[in-house]
Amino acid sequence: MPYVNIKVTREGGPDGKGPSAEQKAEIIAGVTELLVRVLNKSPATTMVVIDEVELTNWGMGGMSVPEFRAKRVGNEESKAPD
């Protein structure tokens, strides 16, 4: 009976305002299947909660995400999403 909490930034998806219902359903199905396969957990009692977090409420590297991305672009370090 696992409990999974997934936090992602509220962005992307079909309208740029966060993952679509289909994407969230795919995440729920995928992480449940993973726990069944690796740990033999019951899917029936596996609970998943997804939190979508505003960009200014998320920090990495001592900076909020908007600052973090602005600085990274300046450094030309990486084009990868985060």
- Residues found near a second copy in the complex (CB under 8 A): 1-9, 12, 19, 21, 23-35, 38-53, 56-67, 80-82
Residue number with CB closer to a second copy (3 or 15): 3
Residue number with CB closer to a second copy (30 or 73): 30
**7-13 long-range contacts, CB within 8 A, separation 24+:** 7/50, 7/51, 7/52, 7/53, 8/50, 8/51, 8/52, 8/53, 9/52, 9/53, 9/54, 9/55, 9/58, 9/65, 10/52, 10/53, 10/54, 10/55, 11/55
Active site residues: 2
